[in-house]
């Protein structure tokens, strides 16, 4: 059974200045959720914290969590936690709403995470490529993806040293159950620094252009418990489908149709099991290594297990 005491102590500390609470009552509340109602610990913490926050009459934004712990971008895996990050602003994106002042990607040595900075939080502007210490940011989750929100209590301190941004590599085993639109032989915009995929020989940015051929697979790897979008670049597509781009171009030329390439690739890869490795970028894992999985060997152990049930 999980020891809930350290979690109760954490929460106790959060509210020390606001509420007269005992660690025992916090632990009891956690215990009810975790052991009686089988709520996952992260959810239980979230629920208990928001209960006390309400009791203390604190807005989420005003709520000062005290000393938030230094966290790694790749390790953020629960919502509503107060953390400190030392990270570089890897990318700034166009905010989609006036309430958002800046939005983009922060990175540290372990990986990257999306951040949002609200206009009303009144914080200093961040520069792309610069590194900062962000004290007191709140983690958030949407559809299984984590992000951090900067708020009024966040302290931003520019760092002298440049932070090296690493990429968190994931390893997955599963069946490639489907490949999606946009797989196969595609054409990209030839303009410098533009690699957009052309639709009917048009680039969304540069209009009608003479495209450059490329090969890729946008696939779905599924292990029966989780499903993950995976992207094979040209090199990985050539390896996994055993097809080279010249052959693919010739096939398309003979058929007067590029979709034959996607069909051929699908024939060679869909339904097979693979082990893949690569960094997670947005909703995709970019495949950097791929290995076909053969027949398994643990039949005997499973049989013993089945007979013992």
Q: Which of 192, 271, 277, 290 binds other proteins (CB under 8 A)?
A: 271
Nearer to other proteins, 92 or 281 (CB): 281
Contact 232, 268 (CB under 8 A): no
Cα 58 from Cα 61, distance rounded (Å)? 8
Q: Is 254 helix (H, G, I), strand (E, B) or coil?
A: helix
**Residues in region 16-55 near other proteins by CB under 8 A:** 38
Q: Which is nearer to other proteins, 125 or 224 (CB)?
A: 224
Closest distance to other proteins from the beta carbon of 80 (Å): 20
For residue 101, the tally of other CB atoms under 10 A from its CB is 17
Q: Are strands 169-179 and 212-222 parallel, antiparallel or unpaired?
A: antiparallel
Q: How far is the CB of 81 from other proteins (least distance, A)?
A: 22
C-alpha pair distances (Å), 136 with each of 11, 61, 87, 132: 15, 11, 13, 13
Residue with smaller CB distance to other proteins, 100 or 175 = 175
In residues, how long is the chain?
309
The nearest distance, CB 34 to other proteins, in angstroms, is 13
Contact with other proteins (CB under 8 A): which of 13, 164, 267, 291? 267
At CA 54, angle to CA 48 and CA 56, rounded to 5?
Answer: 105
Stretch that binds other proteins, among 23-31, 74-82, 146-154, 218-226 (CB under 8 A): 218-226
Looking at 192, 200, 224, 256, which residue binds other proteins (CB under 8 A)? Answer: 224
Task: Note whether 59 and 75 are within 8 A (CB).
Answer: no
Does position 300 interact with other proteins (CB under 8 A)? The reply is yes
| Pairwise CA distance, residues 178 & 196, whole Å | 23
Stretch in the footprint of other proteins (CB under 8 A) among 52-60, 175-183, 206-214, 242-250: 175-183
Please pick, from the candidates 3, 122, 161, 298, the single residue that binds other proteins as defined by CB under 8 A: 298
Compute, in degrees rounded to 10, the torsion defined by CA atoms 273, 277, 283, 284: -80
The alpha carbon of 72 is separated from its chain's Cα centroid by a whole number of angstroms, namely: 13
For other proteins, the binding residue among 31, 273, 277, 288 (CB under 8 A) is: 273
Site for other proteins in 124-143 (CB under 8 A): 143
Which range touches other proteins (CB under 8 A), out of 54-62, 66-74, 78-86, 290-298? Answer: 290-298
* Shortest reach from residue 102's CB to other proteins, in Å: 27
What is the distance between the alpha carbons of residues 108 and 168, in angstroms, rounded to a whole number?
A: 10
């Amino acid at each position: 059974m999980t020891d809930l005491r350290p979690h109760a102590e954490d929460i106790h500390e959060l509210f020390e200045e606001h509420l007269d609470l005992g660690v025992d009552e916090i632990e009891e509340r956690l215990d009810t959720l975790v052991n009686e109602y089988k709520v996952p610990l992260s959810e239980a913490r979230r629920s208990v914290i928001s209960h006390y926050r309400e009791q203390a009459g604190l807005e989420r934004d005003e709520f000062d969590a005290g000393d938030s712990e230094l966290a790694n971008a790749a390790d953020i895996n629960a919502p509503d936690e107060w953390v400190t990050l030392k990270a570089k602003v890897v990318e700034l994106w166009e905010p989609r709403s006036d309430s958002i002042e800046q939005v983009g990607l922060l990175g540290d040595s372990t990986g990257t995470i999306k951040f949002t900075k609200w206009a009303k939080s009144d914080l200093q502007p961040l520069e792309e490529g610069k590194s900062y210490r962000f004290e007191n940011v709140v983690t958030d989750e949407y559809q299984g993806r984590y992000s951090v929100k900067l708020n009024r209590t966040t302290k931003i301190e520019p760092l002298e040293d440049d932070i090296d941004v690493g990429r968190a590599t994931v390893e997955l085993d599963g069946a490639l159950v489907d490949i999606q639109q946009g797989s196969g032989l595609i054409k990209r915009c030839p303009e410098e620094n533009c690699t957009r995929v052309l639709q009917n020989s048009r680039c969304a940015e540069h209009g009608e252009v003479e495209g450059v051929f490329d090969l890729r697979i946008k696939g779905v790897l599924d292990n029966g418990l989780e499903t993950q979008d995976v992207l094979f670049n040209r090199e990985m597509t050539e390896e996994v489908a055993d097809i080279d781009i010249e052959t693919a171009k010739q096939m398309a030329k003979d058929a007067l149709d590029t979709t034959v390439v996607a069909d051929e690739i699908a024939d060679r890869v869909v339904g097979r099991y693979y082990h893949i490795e690569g960094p997670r970028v947005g909703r995709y894992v970019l495949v950097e290594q791929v290995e076909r999985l053969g027949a398994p060997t643990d039949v005997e152990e499973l049989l013993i297990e089945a007979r013992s049930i």
